[in-house]
Amino acid sequence: MIDLNATLLAQMLNFLLLVILLRAFAYKPIVKMLKEREDKIANSLKQADDDAAKAQATLKEYQDQLATARVKAQDIMDKAEKRANEEHETSIQATKTEIEQMKQNAQQEIQRERAQAVEKLKSEVIALSVAAAEKIVSKKIDADENEVLIKEFIDQLDKDKIGDLPC
């Protein structure tokens, strides 16, 4: 039952043959495939890491750009506001000047009108005075002479006053 014979050698050879065959047909392909899978997984992980880093970088870039844009926009807005203020100021100034101008013009106008009115009143007063004087003296005097006479009289009056009215 436990007799040893040449089967022992045959079994050794059989087993070695099986080792060689199995190594060629199963072990090597599987190990190769395992290695490939390992590499692929490592590559995929690396790729994923790289992609994530890239995405992060892009995001950072966009955020930077956004921040710059925001600062720029703020700058532009500030400038616009400043310019608007300046324009507003200028326009107010111009209006003020205009108003001042108009005021001055108006005053000049008033002055002139007053002078005209005074002149007119003077001549009317002269006429009235002449008429009155004619009636009073009932004597016809030369009109020109008369006028000179009365003008003198009037000039002697207060220059700024017509009668008692302030002018």
The footprint of another protein (CB under 8 A) covers 1-12, 14-19, 21-23, 25-27, 29-31, 33-34, 36-37, 40
CA distance 146 to 109: 32
Three-class SS of 123-154: HHHHHHHHHHHHHHHCCCCCHHHHHHHHHHHH
- For 123, the token pair is 């001549």
Least distance between another protein and beta carbon 24 (Å): 9
Q: Least distance to another protein from the beta carbon of 44, Å?
A: 11
Q: How far is the CB of 46 from another protein (least distance, A)?
A: 17
Rank residues 11 and 116 by Cβ distance to another protein and give the closer one: 11
Tell me if 89 sits within 8 A of 117, measured CB to CB.
no
Task: Closer to another protein by CB, 36 or 64: give it.
Answer: 36
Taking a C-beta distance cutoff of 8 angstroms, is the pair 134, 141 a contact? yes
CB of 72 to another protein, least distance (A): 51
Return the number of the residue (22 or 131) whose C-beta is nearest another protein: 22
Asked whether the beta carbons of 124 and 147 are under 8 A apart, the reply is: no
Judged by CB, which is closer to another protein: 22, or 143? Answer: 22
